[in-house]
Structure 1
Amino acid sequence: MNICFLMYPWGEINPEKDSTLTLIHESVKRGHGVAICTPSNLTIRNSITSAFCSIINRMDKVPMSIKSFYKKATLREEMLPLAGFDAIFMRGNPPLDPLMLNFLDSVKDDVFIINSVEGMREANNKLYTAVFEDPNNEIIPVTHVSKNKEYLIKTIEESSSDKMILKPLNGYGGSGVILIEKAAMSNINSLLDFYINKSDGSSDYVILQEYIEGADKGDVRILLLNGEPIGAMKRIPGEKDHRSNITAGGRVAKHRLTNAEKTLCKKIGPKLVKDGLYFVGLDVIGGKLVEVNVMSPGGISYINKVSKVKLQEKVIDFVEMKIAEKSASFTRVANLKRKVNEA
């Protein structure tokens, strides 16, 4: 099997923490051909969608240590047609490049893409949680999205809570997430100006979200594969930051899913699979869904460490299964066509 990882540059990988490298290592261990490329390396040659790839050279013995593998791996450069791969793993950092999806449109019927082009288009931003029907806010906190400053201020003033969460629509990794309080209303006007108004005269949407009690104690990252949870971790904020994201200084701890979290996964899992979102990261606080991460869900290495598991094995098992199903389907159709032609 040949897999292309559409991702960030190889040189930017942190071998001790990187989930994508963990998946690459597992693929190489199993003897699969692996190539990596960045979205900027996509190209079209003679009407064929291709990519300038860095191909990981075969190794006589693949180191068991991921850190050693990263250090010893060598790469060669070659332009390859994307349709020649069995699978394409989408592992780029947000924000999503819509032009990248346009390139992939031409091969989405030939190659298994995880996650699907259509699913990525629909779910790449924080508005995706609105697709899950939840009129009583049982699994999704009360959320407002707007670029109308007066409306947002009025919403804050009318809220029954003294606290709310404010964040940019297209942020990631905890960037721009702040806790606002009614007691500091005099600062909110300037904050909204900063978040909404851009230097070029345009404006951005912001999200205003109900503050969930217990959020100061951290959140839970759940990894879902084919609609089912395969692992989770508790993310605990640092002493000087309310955010629990690891990139913002948070730390991780072992976590066992609560009944509320299991119910949440059951409610949204089928919709994720229907949309071709096979490998997803959920951010959950108090049993409520805060975000769905579909571009490059992380946490594999952390969950592996605190829970003594190897989640990458389940993920690559799944990819192998999907490729086998696709191959069997192709063979079945080809045999049927042959019988019709011979009749």
Structure 2
Amino acid sequence: MKIIVQMDPIEKLNLLGDSTFALLNEAQNRGYKVDFYTPDMLTLDNNILYADAYEILVSTDPDEIKKKSPAKRVKLEDYDILLMRQDPPFNMSYITATHLLETIQNKVLVINNPFYVRNCPEKIFVNKYSQFMPPTLITRNINEIKSFKDKYDKIVLKPLYGNGGADVFYSDKNDKNFQSIIEYFQNISDEQFIVQKFIPKVTLGDKRIIIINGKIAGAINRVPRYGEIRSNMHVGGQATVTEITEYEKKICTALSNDLINFGLFFVGIDIIDNLITEINVTSPTGIREIYNLSGNDVSVIFWNELETRLK
């Protein structure tokens, strides 16, 4: 099987906890040929999509991805599977890549479906399942935000297209910097931003559940550092072993049909105190932490499901 991966430059990856590394390592173990390219190397020529790509070799102990050969121009429709695995920001470059990948969808299995990656932004798509969410506002209207804060007092504000815990702020009735936070968000972008009721039990953890082909594949709990409300591992959150509750299974079941129908094969959902806050469809993480804590190898489940799908 021929695999090609669209991802960030190898030099920028933190391989110790990188889910893409785990997926590529398992692909190589199965004897697949694995190439990679970065999104800036895409070229649409006469409606044929090319990329300057490298064949890679994945090794462990230490974790390493090596380029086996110089870059060569390849036709993306010649591959069996294309994994779209670059991290956000979800900007115009990201959106352009999804449009380009749509041109090969009838010839190559693209994971995840680029149309729905583009049209299911992680903090907007989740609102389709608002019955499972904390009270949430998407706006940049200052009067709406003040009314929301008056109603719930303790709130969290975060950018609509942010990632990794960046620019997440807590505010309550005693916050003298509230107006400055609003001004900050209004100045950094023209988009609406997220205002959400604060969930106090975030201190006990933010659960990441991995869903593959509509089915639960594994989970970890990410516990914030003392004094923090952000549980993202990028900002010091600690991954711990967890169990998936019956109610959390109910949430996953409610999402399952849409994820399958939309071609969102590999997804990570975030749940705090039985409330879903995000549906990560761009480049979900957590595979290696799940394996290290429980021995559950999600990368094996990933490729088993894809092999079954291609039969």
Please give the TM-score of this superposition, normalised by the length of structure 1.
0.86
Q: Which one of the candidate residues 186, 192, 203 is aligned to 2:182?
A: 192
Sort the Cα spacing of 1:167 and 1:72 in 2 relative to 1 into closer, same or farther, 3 A.
closer
Q: Which one of the candidate residues 319, 336, 343 is aligned to 2:306?
A: 319
Q: Which one of the candidate residues 124, 145, 155 is aligned to 1:164?
A: 155
Alignment partner of 1:95: what SS?
Answer: coil
Contact 1:15 1:67 in 2 (8 A): no
Match for residue 34 of structure 1?
34
Alignment partner of 2:71: what SS?
Answer: strand
Distance (Å, rounded) in 1 between the aligned partners of 2:45 and 2:51: 9
* Alignment deviations for residues 15-51 of structure 1 (CA, whole Å, 9 cap, x no partner): 2111101101111111111111111110123441111
Q: Which one of the candidate residues 242, 261, 271 is aligned to 1:284?
A: 271
* Alignment deviations for residues 123-180 of structure 1 (CA, whole Å, 9 cap, x no partner): 1341111223x4xx3x1111101011222112211x1x33111111011011111211
1:127 partner amino acid: I
Match for residue 228 of structure 1?
215
Match for residue 11 of structure 1?
11
Are 1:241 and 2:231 an aligned pair?
Answer: no
- Note the C-alpha offset of 1:224: 0.3
Are 1:175 and 2:166 an aligned pair?
Answer: yes
Match for residue 143 of structure 1?
136
Contact 2:16 2:63 in 1 (8 A): no
Distance (Å, rounded) in 2 between the aligned partners of 1:301 and 1:70: 15
Are 1:255 and 2:236 an aligned pair?
Answer: no
Match for residue 334 of structure 1?
none
Counting matched residue pairs gives 308
- Note the C-alpha offset of 1:88: 0.7
Report the aligned-residue RMSD.
1.7
Distance (Å, rounded) in 2 between the aligned partners of 1:47 and 1:70: 35
- Note the C-alpha offset of 1:213: 3.4
- Bigger drift between 230-239 and 11-20 goes to 11-20
Distance (Å, rounded) in 1 between the aligned partners of 2:213 and 2:308: 12
* Alignment deviations for residues 244-273 of structure 1 (CA, whole Å, 9 cap, x no partner): 110011101101101111111111111111
Match for residue 110 of structure 2?
113
Distance (Å, rounded) in 1 between the aligned partners of 2:216 and 2:39: 29
- Note the C-alpha offset of 1:72: 6.0
Distance (Å, rounded) in 1 between the aligned partners of 2:46 and 2:100: 14
Distance (Å, rounded) in 2 between the aligned partners of 1:24 and 1:124: 25
Distance (Å, rounded) in 2 between the aligned partners of 1:237 and 1:249: 7
Please give the TM-score of this superposition, normalised by the length of structure 2.
0.94
- Note the C-alpha offset of 1:312: 0.5
Distance (Å, rounded) in 2 between the aligned partners of 1:312 and 1:67: 18
- Bigger drift between 68-77 and 232-241 goes to 68-77
2:141 partner amino acid: N
Match for residue 70 of structure 1?
64
Sort the Cα spacing of 1:295 and 1:67 in 2 relative to 1 into closer, same or farther, 3 A.
farther
* Alignment deviations for residues 105-140 of structure 1 (CA, whole Å, 9 cap, x no partner): 2101111111102211221341111223x4xx3x11
Sort the Cα spacing of 1:5 and 1:273 in 2 relative to 1 into closer, same or farther, 3 A.
same
Alignment partner of 2:200: what SS?
Answer: coil
Are 1:123 and 2:120 an aligned pair?
Answer: yes
Distance (Å, rounded) in 1 between the aligned partners of 2:245 and 2:111: 28
Give the gaps of 5 or more residues in structure 1.
325-343
Contact 1:164 1:209 in 2 (8 A): yes
Distance (Å, rounded) in 2 between the aligned partners of 1:196 and 1:296: 27
Are 1:272 and 2:259 an aligned pair?
Answer: yes
Distance (Å, rounded) in 2 between the aligned partners of 1:291 and 1:258: 18
Alignment partner of 2:117: what SS?
Answer: helix
Match for residue 88 of structure 2?
94
Alignment partner of 1:242: what SS?
Answer: coil
Distance (Å, rounded) in 2 between the aligned partners of 1:75 and 1:306: 35
Q: Which one of the candidate residues 197, 200, 208 is aligned to 1:213?
A: 200
